[in-house]
Amino acid sequence: MISPGRNLLPRRGGAKKTKKTVAKPRLIANFLPNAPFLVCGQTVFARKQNAKKLTVNNSKEELTKMKVNQWTMGLAAAGVISFGAVAQAEEKPSNQVLTAISGTQISGYVSTSVHWNPGQSTGFAGAAGSSYLAGKGDGFNLDVIQLTIQKPLDEGEWSAGYLAEIWMGPDAGVLGNTLGGGGTAGNISLAQGYIALNVPVGNGLTVKVGTFNTIVGYEGNNSPDNPNYSRSYAYTVGPFQHEGILASYKVNDVMSIQGGVVNAQNTGLGFRRTVQSQKTYLGSVSLTAPDSFGFLKGATLNAGVVTGQTGAAAAAAQSFQNIHVSGSLPTFSESVKLGVAYDLIRRENAADTASLAAYLTFKNVGIEKLSLNTRVEYFDNGGGGLALGGVAASAAGAEILATTITADYQLWANVLSRLEYRWDHDCSAGRSLPGNVNSGAVGVGNNNAHLVALSLVYKF
């Protein structure tokens, strides 16, 4: 009878049966330097020098952390707190300083210029004119060194950020908000300084508290952000920044609105009225044409108002209204951009001041990296005699036509290179323009003023 599992073939030549051996793991560690040791879950032996070294830290900090973690896990097990909260707490970095500055960005620019005033001995030097031109005629100039430190808002519902913008140099004295008495060349200005807060209301409400740029005007404080190097008269007579609170809300892709309350209409830290209830109010609305508007898609319309009183003494305070309307329109070519702006300044017991300007930008004009920016502005100073450029007031009722052509050529990386020609003409023949004797009548001013300027700005 053949038993199951038996080999039916006979053995060859009486070959001996081979006994299979299995290596048994050592249960006692081998303390020789190069001897193998058992690693669970592996089919081969590893050398001792490849194993991770376990370090026991008995410092007070580690023991305290272990104790805290035990208490935390105990509370989580009892259901007092959730395991999710424990995980989030463990992920927080231990260095709170690094956490506070996380996401901080530093940027800025250095602006220099060369001015030449053809046919004038002093040009725009030391006389009334548009902002940042006085005292720079026929010479080399360091305009300003600008530094911005900021932490933008992130996507969190209750996110917070901040911005601090500082100007250093001659232009800082014109901007205002100067710190200390550094003189004309050593001015330091706190251009902006505010905390930004996001409030999860609707599409998201953004609130600024501190000192921030005004919401009216086609041109901004920073020259590299403007199409031209020199500023318009509308910018010169308008407010630069305010101190207070400003809320911004995006209704949808078409409409955005702003509203705020500030201390005074004019620029300056600490400017406020003696009567607490006398504040200045801001408001603006921005519209953008959607794709359904056909050839008008992308067109913009902006309207804003600043109404209130200056921060001067009670006897000298005046009520002001700055009304601004501007927009951009599509043209026959994508390389041509058209912008228009209208500014009206209404002052208590004085005639209105108005400005109407058109901006035309040509890109890709046949030379790579070259663009042309033009501005034509008609400025009517009315009977108010508002100061131009922060120096002497221009003649009451002056009517000025200013034409500016700026060639922007990007030759060096991070450098904005602009060559500009500007011609200001006093249509009222009142010699209200800066400079000495020129083509107009002999007097303290001119009917025509010319400027050729080279501006170099390095942005970082």
Q: Provide the whole-model pTM.
A: 0.73
pLDDT tens for 379-407 read: 998 755 555 433 344 555 778 899 999 99
Using DSSP, state whether 175 is helix, strand or coil: helix
CATH number assigned to the domain covering 108-459:
2.40.160.10
Tell me the domain boundaries of the chain: 108-459
Residue 215 identity (one-letter amino acid): I
- For 287-328, the pLDDT digits (tens) are 999 999 988 899 999 999 999 887 655 445 678 899 999 999
pLDDT at 131: 85
Per-residue pLDDT of 160-212, as tens digits, reads 999 999 999 999 988 877 876 555 566 899 999 999 999 999 998 999 999 99
pLDDT at 364: 79
Helix, strand, coil shares of the chain, percent, nearest 5, are: 10, 40, 50
DSSP class of residue 320 equals E
- Is the CB of residue 404 less than 8 Å from the CB of residue 228? yes
Please answer whether residues 281 and 260 qualify as being in contact, where contact means their C-beta atoms are separated by less than 8 angstroms: yes
The answer to whether the beta carbons of residues 169 and 144 sit under 8 Å apart is yes
